[in-house]
Amino acid sequence: MPKLIREGVYFDARHGFKFTVNRNREELALICERYMLHMKKDDVVQLPDLKREGVIIGKTTDPKYFADKWDEIENIRETKGSRLADVEMLALCRETSQLKMPYVGPYLSKWILSHPYEKVIVFYHHKDIGNQIVGQLDPGVGHIRIDGKTTMKKRVILLHTFKTDPTCTVGVLSMCATSTGLNLQFCTKIIFVEITFLSVHHTQAEARIHPMNYSVSRTVP
């Protein structure tokens, strides 16, 4: 059977020819007709389920206030268009994040104290929220901070430190800048300080520690 020696390039030692999947589709079709990949059920890795929990951090304001704001945004969407409604939605997300900030530091400190040898990721969306999270960390708590302005070279160094240094236990990460393309399976918990109206951001961020995670919790207002 032909062996894959490079991505997209196949070599058949018996017949002495090579071809690429893009240029020789007829040859590839012949190979596909003769061979079939078969995997047993035992060979398939069964990923553990993600464990999510909503953390009630306290009564920040009157629930009716947010219900009225939501109705107002929906009215804007119907009368003035989705673009303006999305702007108002982002403003509402930012407002709820600010209301939660007084509770984030104590919650994070309590978790770190009860899990001294585990690593936690704290995702945020707005830069000023990230600054406040870092400012609320207890003195001596090792942490890294990555956002959109972090260079690729510095990012590699920070992630290596976060993974290998046992005293560095908190990763304060921008959701948009780090929710894809990173392997953070050495972490055991994710905290979403901010929740945007795009669920794909949270799904991608959760996947950074899957499948070796133990729990994924969302901090909700």
* Cα–Cα distance for residue pair 155/114, rounded to 1 Å: 28
* 71 part of a folded domain: no
- pTM score > 0.85 for this model? no
Q: Would 118 be classed as within a structural domain?
A: yes
pLDDT given at position 173: 93
In a domain, 81, yes or no: no
Number of domains in the chain: 2
Contact present, 104 and 219 (Cβ < 8 Å): yes
At 115 the pLDDT is 87
Residue 206 belongs to domain spanning: 52-58+103-220
Check whether 213 has a pLDDT greater than 60.
no
Phi, psi of 25, rounded to the nearest 5 degrees: -70, -30
Sequence-distant (≥ 6) Cβ neighbours of residue 197 within 8 angstroms? 86, 89, 90, 93
> Across 46-50, 60-64, 158-162, which has the greatest mean pLDDT?
158-162
Same domain, 202 and 125: yes
Supply the pLDDT for residue 11.
Answer: 47
Work out the average pLDDT over 164-173: 93
Residue 123 resides in a domain? yes
